[in-house]
Amino acid sequence: MQINLEGKVALVTGASGDLGRVMARTLAACGADVAIHFHSNQSQAEALRAELSTPSTRAIIVQADVACQSDVLKMRDAVGSTLGAPDIVVNNAVSQYDWQTILNQPIEDYEGQFRSNVLHNVLMAQAFVPAMIEKNWGRVIAISTECAMQCAPTQGAYVSGKRGMDGVLRTLAREVGGNGITVNQVAPGWTISDRDREAGSEIQPGYSDNVPLKRRGDDQDIANAVAWLASDLAGFVTGAWLPVCGGNVMPTI
């Protein structure tokens, strides 16, 4: 049994980032053509496009502010005119900021997290789901975080955005499920990426000791979960919030 995405078009937002690059590579390795979204890191996006473009795989880059409706619509048109309407949309992009306590966090950071999490997912759904409805097949996959369950000190703005995103996506799952479209979330833990490998910071005993699997996950672990949810193997899974964190958080029933 293999994950086969041949004939599918995937769009990954934030694909020039650490986790996004591996998601794009993995979806391409499964046979999908890939639209690589970036906001400001064009050089990284160009390098990834060159890496993924082969005689059997089409890869393009698209620039957009995913919290801006006009940008998202332009991205939809650009992808549609070159690769075709995406079958798989992975909402991975998120804005970064300095974490502080709720009493000290600037209001602008809450607004930024609302825009890059909630509005990002709303605008992507409005732009790309109608074509999925026409095909009666689609995958919407959003990247959440274990922090949404932890609610630890200084996570307030981040958690508020991710929890708002969760409500939008669970509602969307109910609204479009009858059209053959699944809507799911992947929730990484503190994940090893190229940034850690370059800095030599992969080992974090203070974190890993509390993880049941006694290690940090890596970017490929996250990409594998995304690829599975994108495939027909997960065709009867929707509305899920899937923790990929070695059991560091465990949703209860």
Residue carrying structure tokens 């602008």: 108
Residue 234: φ, ψ to 5°? -110, 30
Catalytic residue at 158?
yes
Query: Which position has the token pair 């949703």?
Result: 251
3-state secondary structure of 168: helix
Beta strands, E only, the chain: 9-12, 33-38, 59-63, 88-91, 138-143, 181-188, 241-244
How would you label 56-93 residue by residue, b for 16+ Cβ within 10 Å and e otherwise? eebbbbbbbbbbeeebbeebbebbbeebebbbbbbbbb
> H or E element: which one contains 236?
none
Q: Which amino acid is at 68?
A: C
Q: Which of 97, 110, 158, 207 is catalytic?
A: 158
* Secondary element (H or E) of residue 167: helix 156-176
- Residues that are catalytic: 158
